[in-house]
Amino acid sequence: MNEKKGIGWRLDGRFILIAVILILFVGWRAGLIGRGAEDDGVGETAVTATSSPAANIGGASSTSIVESANDYTRGELPVISDSSLSPALNPVTYQGKKPEHSFQTYVVQRGDTPNIIADKFGIKTETLLGGNPSLSEESSLLQTDAELIILPIDGVLHDVAPGDTLESISAEYGVPMEDIIAYAPNNLEFPYRLYPETQILVPGAVREVFVWSPPDLSSVAGNTSYEGRGVAPVIVGTGTFIYPVNSRNFSQYYWYGHRAIDIALPVGSAVFASDTGTVTYAGWNVYGYGNLIVINHGNGHETFYAHLSAINVVPGQIVYQGNVIGATGNTGNSSGPHIHFEIRLNGNQDNPCWYLGC
């Protein structure tokens, strides 16, 4: 009995060994077939075709899908444009954050100047222009009771317009894009979409100042020089300048946003022609000057007398140094009675103190 049982175990062991050998042999053969198929370029196709979940959508065979995919060249594949900062992303597929700013405001008081207000808040005077575009007009002065935005840091508050990108704003103000992105309240995250009718703060930027140009001598002078020389001045000034008022009570000096001097004095005080010349402008000015007189001195120099309460001259009139041409006032963008006095040379705004010795 025990002998038969031993024979059975030996027979079973042989069957097991044979079965293992058969399994190994089948696996080896399958490996050879697979490698041969890959060498013929069909193995990869088969795997690709069966791995696609849409292999037979619409009745298309797996083979046709693979062949269609292989028709694309590398240059035809869709790529992300380098202009990824463009605001033209589809809002259905991407909705970025919008800026979240919080600003202090200040109501202009009688006698305020940009310098005084900037000192109160510890910012540069130019930053008042950055937060308040209206102050970049020619006179750069303040209107009493006007409400100003006070930026938390030096820079410019930019109104985002359709088509604006970080690249275009960076180029406009000469500020690196990284600085604009780094300012947290701008809420800029890749791909840096900008939204029209919002505002972003451009750190360190300075707003460009608008400069109004008065009429030239051709608008008032009747006689002209020979061809090619343009309009001949009716009269030429002395080349020296005197103070336009009998006061030295300066309320504001020359700086980037205010290229003139202000002298405070009561309304109705006499205003004198700083030098001899021809009046080219005498009237109301919509760019903040209020009642304004401009005198062209025929030698490249012009003088401006702004915020007047009265005007005693007309365009085309010749005036001589020291003539009374008007009276001081508080018209236009002004926070108190004073005269705003400019000297320009060939259209450039010079510091009047260079000529007057302030």
Residues 264 and 199 in one domain: no
Residue range of the domain that includes 187: 104-203
- 310 occurs within a structural domain: yes
Q: Which of 164, 179, 203 is the last residue of a domain?
A: 203
Q: What are the pLDDT digits (tens) for 5-61? A: 444 445 556 666 666 676 666 665 655 555 554 454 444 433 333 333 333 434 444
Mind giving me the DSSP string for 252-292? E--BTTB-SEEEE--TT-EEE-SSSEEEEEEEEETTTTEEE
142/242 same-domain check: no
- For residues 168-180, give the mean pLDDT: 95
Q: Look at residue 257 in the predicted model and tell me its pLDDT.
A: 85
pLDDT band at 220 (very low <50, low <70, confident <90, very high): confident
What pLDDT does residue 145 have?
87
**Which pLDDT band holds residue 92 (cuts at 50, 70, 90)?**
low
Q: Is residue 123 part of a domain?
A: yes
Rounded CA-CA distance 24/30 in Å is 10
Residues 131 and 187 placed together within one structural domain of the fold: yes
The answer on 351 and 259 residing in a single domain is yes
Amino acid 162: pLDDT: 93
280 and 258 inside one domain: yes
The encoded tokens of residue 332 equal 């236009």
Same domain, 327 and 260: yes
Instruction: Give pLDDT tens digits for 316-341.
Output: 999 999 999 999 999 988 888 999 99
Domain with residue 166: its CATH number is 3.10.350.10
H/E run at residue 36: helix 2-39
**Which of 181, 203, 225 is the endpoint of a domain?**
203
Task: Count CA atoms within 13 Å of residue 245 on its CB side.
Answer: 29
Tell me the three state secondary structure of residue 342: strand
What tens digit of pLDDT does each residue of 246-285 get?
999 999 899 888 899 999 999 999 999 999 999 999 999 9
Is the predicted pLDDT of residue 111 greater than 90, yes or no?
no
Beta bridge partners of 105: 149
Same domain, 234 and 340: yes
Mark whether 185 and 250 lie in a shared domain.
Answer: no
**Does residue 5 lie in a domain region?**
no
Cβ of 339: how many Cβ atoms within 10 Å?
Answer: 27
**pLDDT in the model for residue 120:** 92
Instruction: Look at residue 54 in the predicted model and tell me its pLDDT.
Output: 39
Q: Total domain count for the chain?
A: 2
CATH number at residue 317: 2.70.70.10
CA dihedral for 11, 12, 18, 21, sign (positive or negative): negative
pLDDT given at position 282: 97
Q: Return the pLDDT at 137.
A: 62
**Is there a single domain that holds both residue 237 and residue 306?**
yes
Residue-wise DSSP of 60-89: --HHHHHHHHHT--GGGS----S-TT-S--
pLDDT value at residue 141: 58
Same domain, yes or no: 186 and 258: no
Measured at the alpha carbon of residue 318, what is the angle toward residues 141 and 273, in degrees to the nearest 5?
40
Phi, psi of 313, deg, nearest 5? -130, 170
Question: Is 124 inside a domain boundary?
Answer: yes
Report how far residue 212's alpha carbon sits from residue 10's, in angstroms, rounded to the nearest whole number.
Answer: 113
Predicted pLDDT at 43? 40
Indicate whether 263 and 199 sit together in one domain. Answer: no
Angle at 334 between CA 328 and CA 335, to 5 degrees: 105
